[in-house]
Amino acid sequence: MRVVVAVQGWPGVGGRLSLSPADAAAAVLEAWREARPGTDVVAIPVADGSPRTADALTGPRSAVGGVEAVEGPGGLWLAPAEGAPRWNPHGLSTALLGLAAAGETRTVHIPLGDESPAGDAVDLWGGHADAVRQALSSLPMVALVGSARPLLGFQGMSSAVRDGRESDPAIALAAQEQERRWSGIALEGDALAGGASLMGPSRLSDVPGAGAAGGLAYCLAVLGARLAPGAPYVLEALGIGAEAEGADVLAAVTGELTPRTLDAGVASALAEQAARRALPATALAPSVQVGKRDLMAAGLASAHEAAPGIDGLRDGVRRLAHTWAR
């Protein structure tokens, strides 16, 4: 029997550092082989397309204009400098301009997830969107997003501000102000980007994912970046698709399973891979905050909980192995 496990990492105990994807994957292999010695099990460190995605990679690293660049599958993968969890738009702009000036031809991956940047997303342009777009015209860029939210409209960024607090007048006012501000910004950005797609929305501001990461996705798209769903892109780039051929079960070891992470996280992306091959998919998480119906809608046959820390992870993997491995 062949089992492929996509391992995002695992939380520590009592505020201790979480296990990295690589360390968690090693623990998964050890525990599974101990529980089911005859299983052909493969554990692959992965990430969900959030800003720290490059931490799952093992390639050479270098500092580029205030961000970290890691050599990985398909090109360069960027991460905020000094382990920061969010992007600084100004530092990111400096890095991209530096790579373009150096003649970089490899694809530059910019994982955004849906975390708002540490600053105004429009600082990416520095007040000169047209000039920056021209300077980056030869640089292949992919921005990985963790939301299908467009920039504007009823389902856009302003809806995220109002979500669950529609009765608060101050929140409603803030949402209206945000919509007005970004509508003005989009007048320039949409004109620069031109038609978004012959088959899809005619304006870039209406494209799914443009409103991710506090508008940073839109600003990158105006500069020429292609938007792509983060977790599915990362899993494919890291070889999950190839490893899944001939597998009997796919499993995700991931963070908390919430409605948001289930929509755009590693577990649902792995379930997509499983569905293409008519395979069952399951998940192991420190907390499962969704019901059976939600799991089924995401394509997961089950989800299992385990305690934080390496001992909790090993125990959870052993139970997973006894449940799914013949």
The stretch 186-201 carries a mean pLDDT of: 76
Q: Are 286 and 10 in contact, with CB atoms under 8 Å apart?
A: yes
Residue 303, helix vs strand vs coil: strand
The mean pLDDT of the chain is: 91
Percent of the chain surpassing pLDDT 90: 80
Q: In the prediction, which pLDDT does 197 show? A: 54
The stretch 208-227 carries a mean pLDDT of: 96
| 11 backbone dihedrals φ, ψ, rounded to 5° | -70, 150
Q: DSSP characters for 53-89?
A: GGGG--S-EEEETTEEEEEETTEEEEEEGGG-SS--H
What does each C-alpha distance from 303 to 45, 49, 257, 282, 306 come to in angstroms? 19, 21, 9, 6, 10
- The answer, yes or no, to whether residue 198 has pLDDT greater than 60, is no
Q: Are 68 and 85 in contact, with CB atoms under 8 Å apart?
A: no
**Nearest of 63, 62, 118, 64 to residue 89 by alpha carbon:** 118
The stretch 156-179 carries a mean pLDDT of: 68
Q: In the prediction, which pLDDT does 167 show? A: 60
The stretch 305-321 carries a mean pLDDT of: 96
User: Which amino acid type is present at position 91?
Assistant: G
Residue ranges of alpha helices (H) inside 194-249 are 216-222, 230-237, 240-244
Query: Can you name the residues that pair with 228 across neighbouring β-strands?
Result: 144
The stretch 274-288 carries a mean pLDDT of: 96
The stretch 96-113 carries a mean pLDDT of: 97
* Kind of pairing between the strands at 226-229 and 75-80: unpaired
- The answer, yes or no, to whether residue 240 has pLDDT greater than 70, is yes
